[in-house]
Chain A
Amino acid sequence: NAGVTQTPKFQVLKTGQSMTLQCAQDMNHEYMSWYRQDPGMGLRLIHYSVGAGITDQGEVPNGYNVSRSTTEDFPLRLLSAAPSQTSVYFCASSSGTHLGEQYFGPGTRLTVT
């Protein structure tokens, strides 16, 4: 039982490049989400999904796309990287209730130059 896995752990991109951050969970959770964490700020929700085939925007969705073709996987795509997207990205999953604990992946540290 691996929990929530994320790849890569570190990535450096040049402005304008695109890439996909991978996220997978093996807990059969319906609810998955992507956050970014910047110094001095709380975790900010980028996109989330309440089940396979369903995604929705969070607080800061611009510049990112997601898809949810299976329950297990929830990749985050950066379409054209910008320095403002330099951040630490966390994927999380939960059972999808108000009491549901969120399980976090190890994070991806992304630098855009």
Chain B
Amino acid sequence: ILNVEQSPQSLHVQEGDSTNFTCSFPSSNFYALHWYRWETAKSPEALFVMTLNGDEKKKGRISATLNTKEGYSYLYIKGSQPEDSATYLCAPSMDSNYQLIWGAGTKLIIKP
């Protein structure tokens, strides 16, 4: 069974502060790493997909990096805002059937 770990499980951050969290995954048979954002009472929405070791993607105040050799990715949020409150999911694609293996997520709560 492939194991995808996300840490921390939850995180309280003061508005305006920057934060980051981690996704760890097996480094063998790796094809791509997806990050999704999941707001309460909504459905997950894609943030980034990365494939190459050293990849870095950015969307506004949110960015992500990828290390495929050691099997981890970081998600960074700069200057957190209340609308950033959500659960952030990572999911590597690791088999030929394009299935994503989902982590349990990091729940981010921004305190005003």
**A binding-site residues for B, Cβ under 8 Å:** 31, 33, 35, 40-45, 48, 50, 56, 58, 90, 94, 96-102, 104-107
Knowing A42-B89, A98-B32, A98-B93 are in contact, say whether A31-B104 is a contact too (CB < 8 A).
Answer: no
B102 and A43: CB pair below 8 A? yes
**Bound: A77/B98 CA distance, A:** 23
Q: Chain B: interface secondary structure?
A: loop
Contact A100 B98 (CB under 8 A): yes
Cβ distance A53 to chain B, nearest Cβ, rounded Å: 16
In the complex, what's the smallest C-beta–C-beta distance from A66 to chain B, in angstroms?
Answer: 15
Q: Contact check, A40 vs B98: say whether CB atoms are below 8 A apart.
A: no
**6 interchain pairs, CB-CB under 8 A:** A42-B103, A43-B44, A48-B99, A97-B98, A99-B49, A101-B49
Q: Determine if B4 is an interface residue (Cβ-Cβ < 8 Å).
A: yes
Please state if B46 and A101 are interface contacts (CB–CB under 8 Å): yes
B residues at A contact (CB < 8 Å): 4, 31-32, 34, 36, 42-46, 49, 51, 89, 91, 93, 97-105
Q: What total of A-B pairs shows CB separation below 8 Å?
A: 53
In the bound complex, residues from chain A placing their C-beta under 8 Å from that of B98 are: 31, 50, 94, 96-98, 100
Q: How far is the CB of A33 from chain B (nearest CB, A)?
A: 8
- The majority secondary structure among interface residues of chain A is loop
Q: Told that A43-B102, A100-B98, A104-B45 touch, could you supply 4 new A-B pairs with CB distance under 8 A?
A: A45-B99, A50-B97, A56-B97, A99-B51
Report which of A33, A42, A45, A104 forms a contact with B104, defined as CB distance below 8 A: A42
A98 contacts which of B31, B44, B46, B89 (Cβ < 8 Å)?
B31
**CA distance in complex: A1, B79 (Å):** 34
